Structure 1
């Protein structure tokens, strides 16, 4: 083969610009984000001796004052950067995030611009307090705009506290979170905060001797307001709680859904059964005997769910805000909704006697509760009755005035008969039957705790729960059959390490646990049944609960271990959960039900969406838990010195967590207050045992404690143990001296509170 000439070879490569001053300067002007010496050399094909020529050209341009920089990148004098690091500071009236440059050359470029931040819908979203890398556009329509490349740091260091003014100016900020220091505030950094205000502060990076210093970044309101406790949780966990003006305007502009494109089901007597104080109603149910002779004793169950997908479309302001929030957050004193009230409490709420759009699934079950078929419909419905759980149950039980007599025999009793069949199937399926009572805090008009109640667990609750589960299963099955991407509610089996720890613990109680390869929820149910009404019941329930994995959202189907289901997706609460809205859109797309389906961009970003809403769910749970802790600590602050019945819900090297069952909150007993003995901590047996006395305490023990300190703002309580230790098996674990081992009052080990132990 003949060798190609150098001339022939050159024709195969793109021509490069000549290496001269004008071309180098033009390249830097047109490529400000890649103007390092290496970038320039690569662009001009500079190699070998030519590097010296390039260096001379760059030095001459700098000497003539037409080029600056050189350490990292070259720029023309006065040129604005096209890429930069921004701090997200807040939102504007349109709901867009507003960000400012982290480092800005004020002398060179003048006042720093405020950028409206645009985010990719398929990647992790930035939030207020985050630091991002972004492309910068100074001439965008509507003002400077930045486009997120990636999130560099999540929620920069901020702290919450109560501002206490100081004579002469300035003040200090008392902490409201565990493991948070007190801060000193200079007179010119108070942000006009007044004594007693709840504030958010930005700590300074360094300080000299004395208290760490900070500046007040935002005044959140007075501590004496009714919603102060939940306000602390909202800001501590970064939960959006004020709808931007543009989102509210979009919601207010929405109107009733038309019948066009829907099936008219307004004559079907669907009813809602909810808590008595519910403000939105997103599910309605109906059941009737199956008229098919081939299914004797069977039932047709209909579950209708508010059609949120009709109102909240992909790419809209409503959609962006809903995804950011992820779910509604429920506090004892208020609800922070995922959607504005115009949508959640009005247009999408299945109000009695009002036409409302819905997506319904009609399921046929046989007499044993096994499903024979299912089909989804996009409908216009009208709820025929609004019932509270207690009233529906009372009506079925025979109370004359609990509900309209016209619906008792025609609507309620068929529902209960259908549930009886579903209950039989549930018993065969054997989901995990961990039943921890839910507590509800009842507040007074001033926002303080009145009492804590445990609502009765009625068949009405179980009926709605099981019908919602069946509707969720149907959604997952139909979408899988259609090969439609969706977000599953995933719950993995317990990990091998947790199972081994559980097996070791149960062995100490002479309770066997099957090999991990064959474990099903039924095996755990057998264990729970074996200890029912024994001294070990609460202990074993607690340990079995801790052995379980945490449920999350995922585009990959791994099944739901706890419910013992192969396919499961959240479909029944789109008003309050973004995951359900995604499933609604997927159904609209897969079944060609009209407008409001899942966009291609949404499909491409399902993994990121699932991750974001899983984080939002955990964030909401932590905020709700912290609020309960603070409310109860505030409620009991006047009862320091009183004794209470409690139960040990956590055993650590540092001491014991004791929950007060009456209130559903817990406090800490430092190990140093338990007696003058060396204590062994046995992680497997969940005990601490005195080395000399062989007396100690175990997870699940019922004890009596005295409240010695309550810190309402931190939501922490410290107890003194009144119950004497009991005889327990000796431990082989490493021992820890109790004497002198105390915790700083109000601080919990690990700083995570209950959330770290679950």
Structure 2
């Protein structure tokens, strides 16, 4: 019997039919996604409709389902093709937006192929016990979890905070006969040509942001201007370079300015009325905001003979900058104000910092005050915090206040001398005696102030005199900060400590080695106190080498930071310390204010539970913004001084060696405080080796020694204002010491360090 002919299947073009949903029903989201993942020949919406037999009235809800999946980023459309969005790997790099809510962080993949559709949004998990706590603006390495469902719901746990690459390279445009070139701000980068067609609107001297392209067979780097920032030289705003190079936010968003303008003055509601208490502000003569006021009076209580009552009132910023607002997010992002010689980049808009929160003379202002009782020896017996409405009785400068105490009162300070100023100084004298017994680190290094002229150029460099008036305010602020930490600990409240850890054993050993070369005795134990360093400094003063020793003692210290864990404050020799006294310019102080308000029941605008959970991350973030501000201020001072000295090439200066490395000597000019470098190859006729234990360069043959703190004469060879760099030539001869036999017998490299002879002045 013949077999029946085999029937050939029809050649069906297009995608195959998927498992069908129930008759007349739409496919589920999971069925749609499975079809896209499994069938590569599905090209678009029509193919997908054929797979599931979509007809008639089913078309509209089917299109809506696809639009919903696309809107959620689960599927993506490339030209006309639909496909499932690529999944994130289990470990990847994420960028947290700078405007992300610190209480509800989210992130996006740092690298993403735009053809895969929109970047997936990832929720960043945190918590009180998280080891790594990121913040808005951070780049993190994270472990990714897509959830259990077919539709990924991404969450991430931060594993490490990574350095974030800069937006682009920053530099100054210089026009020459061949066209244009870029002088990079970063002194490690090389100059590049800028094709004239890639200048945008940039002119000579403009600060610009560029992208770098490689051209030709030799892959020569060329710069293309992507943004013209401005001309820092012509505008007298050298600080623009640091602001943009370090990516410091300096323009307030409209939403922040709008909130600031809409803020209303705080009323007496919920506050104690202290407007009749004659609190006064004492600040630099050119201060624009006044966030602290003080008052002192003798304690007439019989149990405290010779005692004092000191009141410190601080602007109530928490009343205006509330958690979760645009003002709060921007203040957190900035972390602190940044102070330049030519401008201030404030943490808060002027409406808040210079108006509503500035304790102006004669105007009612909201404040958070601490009332402290001291005995005759300056020891604090008790304290209490109060939310108040106050009115400053006077706005004084440090110099004005000190002059009055010294017998040169003016029309304003004369009437204040007996009732206000003398009681303040009497209280300070008692507090200062207690401080001296406590023994904080007495490292009084001079700070120079750069004074600019109307064009923004350096007019003068001054070392402001340290007055008793400065120390009075400092001591009272320290006492208020300690009181804040004590109260929050007593209330078992979360807080941000200002911590200064003790020096590491490695730094202590380096200090011992150095001091040993100067025959200064130091105890061998790692259990040191600030008073031990004061003893070292006292020996150095007697021996006449205080500059060298002060520099090394400073280098041995740890960096002060913010932390939710209390490590104490080594430099101040305090067991607990928090920043409370400057909420206008430091976010840490605002957090402490909120914590006090919550712990003491002083209002409904205190620290939130979400903030309390995020304190570790907040501490990391504001410690980083503080370091950024310090770097920006130092870089700007370097550029201004390099610009000031650029006309003095060839001039001689007296200087002191401020650092010693294998590559050469760092020096600081005595008159201006400008820092520069002397390459080791220019030191002299000998071969100089770096002696780390002595912080010195020592000649192999001659034993000529140049050490940390030595006073030397130098000649300026080169100045690079944009980079803030100065190069000097050494004119002085070093101290002669006996080179060790090991050094004398050691074979020197064939190349020579040092010219044929040192030039004489």
Normalised TM-score (structure 2) = 0.82
> Residue 161 of structure 1 aligns with which residue?
171
1:323/1:741 CA distance change after superposition, 3 Å: farther
Q: Distance in 1 between matches of 2:36 and 2:189?
A: 43
Report matched runs for 1:169-208 at 5 Å.
Answer: 171-186=180-195, 189-204=198-213, 208=217
> Does the 8 Å contact 1:648/1:659 carry over to 2?
yes
One of 126, 129, 134 as aligned partner of 1:124: 134
Moved more, 239-248 or 205-214: 205-214
Q: CA deviation at 1:29?
A: 7.2
1:227/1:738 CA distance change after superposition, 3 Å: farther
Q: Distance in 1 between matches of 2:289 and 2:123?
A: 32
Moved more, 598-607 or 660-669: 660-669
Q: Distance in 2 between matches of 1:736 and 1:480?
A: 61
2:228 matches 1:219: yes
1:371/1:587 CA distance change after superposition, 3 Å: same
Report matched runs for 1:540-559 at 5 Å.
Answer: 540-559=549-568
Q: CA deviation at 1:36?
A: 11
Q: Distance in 2 between matches of 1:542 and 1:458?
A: 23
> Residue 267 of structure 2 aligns with which residue?
258
1:586/1:116 CA distance change after superposition, 3 Å: same
> Residue 677 of structure 1 aligns with which residue?
686
1:21/1:726 CA distance change after superposition, 3 Å: farther
> Does the 8 Å contact 1:129/1:156 carry over to 2?
no
1:248/1:59 CA distance change after superposition, 3 Å: closer
RMSD (CA atoms): 3.7
> Does the 8 Å contact 1:710/1:717 carry over to 2?
yes
1:267/1:678 CA distance change after superposition, 3 Å: same
Deviations 1:455-497 (A, max 9, x none): 1100000000000000000000000000000100000000011
2:715 matches 1:706: yes
1:135/1:90 CA distance change after superposition, 3 Å: farther
> Does the 8 Å contact 2:75/2:85 carry over to 1?
no
Report matched runs for 1:665-744 at 5 Å.
Answer: 665-728=674-737, 730=739
Q: Distance in 2 between matches of 1:29 and 1:356?
A: 64
Report matched runs for 1:308-707 at 5 Å.
Answer: 308-401=317-410, 403-532=412-541, 534-707=543-716
2:252 matches 1:243: yes
Structure 2 residue runs without a partner (length 5+): 1-17, 52-73, 128-132, 147-153, 756-761
Deviations 1:494-553 (A, max 9, x none): 001111111122122222222334311111101101111533110011111111101000
Aligned residues: 684
> Does the 8 Å contact 2:686/2:753 carry over to 1?
no
1:81/1:526 CA distance change after superposition, 3 Å: same
Q: Distance in 2 between matches of 1:257 and 1:422?
A: 33
Q: Distance in 1 between matches of 2:662 and 2:523?
A: 30
Deviations 1:595-622 (A, max 9, x none): 3200111111100000000000000000
Deviations 1:338-377 (A, max 9, x none): 0000000000000000000000000000000011001000
Structure 1 residue runs without a partner (length 5+): 1-18, 38-56, 68-72, 137-145, 744-758
Q: Distance in 1 between matches of 2:666 and 2:438?
A: 35
2:693 partner SS: coil
> Does the 8 Å contact 2:95/2:137 carry over to 1?
no
Moved more, 226-235 or 714-723: 226-235
> Does the 8 Å contact 1:163/1:195 carry over to 2?
yes
Q: CA deviation at 1:195?
A: 3.5
1:262/1:503 CA distance change after superposition, 3 Å: same
> Does the 8 Å contact 2:172/2:205 carry over to 1?
yes
1:518 partner SS: coil
2:82 matches 1:78: yes
Q: Distance in 2 between matches of 1:463 and 1:729?
A: 49
Q: Distance in 2 between matches of 1:688 and 1:469?
A: 41
> Does the 8 Å contact 1:243/1:340 carry over to 2?
yes
2:541 partner SS: coil
Q: Distance in 1 between matches of 2:27 and 2:224?
A: 44
Q: CA deviation at 1:680?
A: 1.8
> Does the 8 Å contact 2:400/2:413 carry over to 1?
no
1:684 partner SS: helix
Q: Distance in 2 between matches of 1:602 and 1:244?
A: 23
Normalised TM-score (structure 1) = 0.83
> Does the 8 Å contact 1:679/1:737 carry over to 2?
no
Q: Distance in 1 between matches of 2:307 and 2:563?
A: 34
1:78 partner SS: strand
Deviations 1:265-286 (A, max 9, x none): 0000000000001000000000
